[in-house]
Amino acid sequence: MAQTGALGDKIFRAVLLLAATSILLIVAGIFVMMVQNAMPTIGRFGIGFLFGSEWKPAQEEFGALPFIYGTLVSSVLALIISVPISLGIAIFLVEQAPKGIAKPIAFMVELLAAIPSVVYGLWGIFVLAPFIREYLGPVLQGYLGFIPLFQGRVTGIGMLTGGIILALMITPIITAVVRDVLEAVPTTQREAALALGATKWETTTIVLGNAASGIAGAVVLGLGRAIGETMAVTMVIGNSPQISASLFEPANTIASLLAANFAEATDRTYLSALIEIGLVLFLVTFVVNAFAKILVMGVASRNGKAA
């Protein structure tokens, strides 16, 4: 029995180890494949690839800047819209709402994350874009038209539409992580604050302060998700590689460039440029996610020990 047990242990462990290692192999495989295929343009354009502002495959001119710009601006826009709302929901659910209300609402917010990207895109094309063109755009332009951000023609297709769709998509993610972080803050802290005469809202701000790095982690996690989002964005952002001050203007992101063009790049240099920009996306999301994880882990372990 002991003999078969020892052998069984070895086999069992080896099988599990193999499965776990496959995750490492996949990530390493993706990285190696991309570096290998991107080598021609990495060698040819060097670091200038990242800062060139012209993307002209026909002339073999590849500057990734408009795509990097579009990716960052649409993601940051999404954060600006989503973070206050997500924080509001999380505070409401953890600190304020009675259980009977909190549960169904939490459930419904999570369902938002279950809706596929392509469905958000469909909804964006046929509902959100016309709404922005007919109502939101003219209103914003009417009141804030003096700011360059809100100048130019309003077509309903562009950076703002992309940002709003992204905001909707990352809200459940940020909300969920912030909830976890808030719940990890020990109740003793709240009780102590209340005992010292703090109001309920003051207590909440103290809790938020203690959870700050975890909340930052949630935000960074949302950023990572927004950066990599593909289908919904490509359907509403206008696919035009330009750097424009106006949020109504079309833009393009790295992920939607890949979705529209990867299948048809015949030219070796073009393909290499596409894979290199994909590599940039890969590395950025990797770093952003790693950073988010470190931030969230910090809160969990600190409060875990405190409790």
Partner 1 sequence: MNGTMFRSQNLIALFLIASVILSFGCSGQKLGEGPGTTAPGGSLQLQGSGASFPKPIYEKWVSEFGKANPNIRIDYQATGSGAGQKALLAKTADFGASDDPMSDEDLKSAGGEVLHIPTVLGAVVLTYNLEGVKEPLKLTGQTISDIYLGNIKKWNDERLKKDNPNLTLPDADILPVYRADSSGTSAVFTDFLSKTSPDWKTKVGMNKQPSWITGVGVGAKGNDGVMGQVKQTPNAIGYVELTFAKANSLPTALVKNKAGQFVEASLESVAAAAAGSVASMPDDLRTQITDADGAAAYPIASYTYILVYKEQADAAKGKAIVDFLWWATHEGEKFAKDLHYAPLPAEVVKKVESKINSMTAGGKALRQ
Partner 2 sequence: MTSLTAICAAFVTGLLLLIIGYIAIRGFSSINFQFLTDTPKPVGEGGGIGNSILGSAMMTLLAAVIGLPVGIAAGVYLAEYGRNWYGNTIRFVADTLIGIPSIIIGIFIYTLVVLPMGRQSGLAGGLALAVIMIPIVARTTEEMIKLVPSSMREGALALGAPQWRVSWNIVLPAAASGIATGAMLAIARVTGETAPLLFTALNSRFYNYYLDQPMSSLTVQIFNYATGPFEVEHAMAWAATLILVGTILIINVLVRTVTKRRY
Residue ranges that bind partner 1, judged by CB under 8 A: 54, 56-59, 61, 66, 125, 129-130, 133, 153, 155-158, 234, 238-244, 249-250, 252, 260-261, 263-266
Nearest approach, Cβ of residue 67 and partner 1 (Å): 12
Nearest approach, Cβ of residue 50 and partner 1 (Å): 18
Task: Indicate which single residue of 285, 295, 299, 303 sits in contact with partner 2 (rule: CB under 8 A).
Answer: 285
Strands (E), the chain: 55-56, 61-62
Q: Which does 161 bind (CB under 5 to 8 A by kind): partner 2, partner 1, none?
A: none
Name residues whose C-beta falls within 8 Å of residue 296's C-beta, 6 or more positions apart in sequence: 177, 180, 181, 214, 217, 218, 221
- Is 240 one of the binding residues for partner 2 (CB under 8 A)? no
Angstrom CA distances, 181 to 105, 175, 208, stand at: 18, 10, 9
Q: Which does 89 bind (CB under 5 to 8 A by kind): partner 2, partner 1, none?
A: partner 2
Total residues binding partner 2 (CB under 8 A): 87
Angstrom CA distances, 222 to 86, 102, 183, 260, stand at: 10, 22, 19, 24
Nearest approach, Cβ of residue 143 and partner 2 (Å): 20
Angstrom CA distances, 38 to 55, 100, 158, stand at: 16, 54, 29
Report whether 162 contacts 253 (CB < 8 A). yes
- Is 259 one of the binding residues for partner 2 (CB under 8 A)? yes
Task: Indicate which single residue of 215, 258, 273, 299 sits in contact with partner 2 (rule: CB under 8 A).
Answer: 258
What helix, strand, coil percent values describe the chain, rounded to 5?
Answer: 80, 0, 20
Q: What residues between 187 and 206 interact with partner 2 by CB under 8 A? A: 201, 204
| Dihedral angle sign, alpha carbons of residues 121, 166, 76, 32 | negative
User: Pattern 85-114, binding to partner 2, x per CB under 8 A?
Assistant: xxxxx-xxx--xx-------xxxxxxxx-x
Residue 62, helix vs strand vs coil? strand
User: Pattern 43-82, binding to partner 2, x per CB under 8 A?
Assistant: ----------------------------------------
